[in-house]
A = this chain, B = another copy of it.
Amino acid sequence: MPKQVDHEERRELIAGAVRRLAADRGLEGVSLGEVAAEAGISKGLVQHYFPTRDAMLRHATRTLRDRVETRVRQPMSTGGLTGLHAVLIALLPLHDESRTEALAANAFLVRALKDPEIAERFRAGHARLREELAAMTAAAQADGDLRETLDPAREADLLLALVAGLGDAVLLGYRTPAEAKALVAHHLSRLTR
């Protein structure tokens, strides 16, 4: 019997190559040929899964979003102020993998303004994170860990902006990972009762 090809695995192999190339060189480094070379497969095989470069780029943004959601799932389920803190730390690019993902997401920013499918994915991902951070903030208020005068949605906006900005500062070497973590902790400490 011929070996069963795992199509999902192949698509992830290609998406991983797109993420690494985009992180390393920006989207200008992401051609079907470069992706094939990076993934160690033929250009024809890449085209079998993604007939166009645009389709390949769109799929890569889907995997970017999935990876962020996977990364925050565990700390999110922890709940409480501890969980909220852990989610924020998980959103910072502190490790090789999350650094690659953050750089790749950055490389897609300008494209997100032009491609409605990518724009909608970014927007939905941001809206979901915002809802979840607001819900965690409200729960920590109910626990008596965060001040009850805080508006959860507003605090979620501030927290998301803060980790996005600190993430760029870490990527560019303006701040060390330890400094970024300390700044998140300091901001959170101001919200506690």
Contacts and interface: CB of A to CB of B under 8 A. Distances in A.
Interface of A: 22-28, 103, 106-107, 109-114, 119, 122-123, 126-127, 130, 154, 157-158, 160-166, 168-169, 171-175, 179, 183, 186-187, 190
Contacts of A107: 26, 109-110
A13 B107 CA distance: 26
Contacts of A154: 183, 186
A17 to B, nearest CB: 16
Contacts of A114: 25
Given A27-B28, A119-B173, A190-B190, 5 more contacts: A23-B110, A106-B110, A123-B172, A126-B169, A163-B165
Classify the interface of chain A: helix, strand, loop or mixed: helix
B106 A109 contact: yes
Contacts of A130: 174
A106 B154 CA distance: 25
A23 B110 CA distance: 7
A63 to B, nearest CB: 18
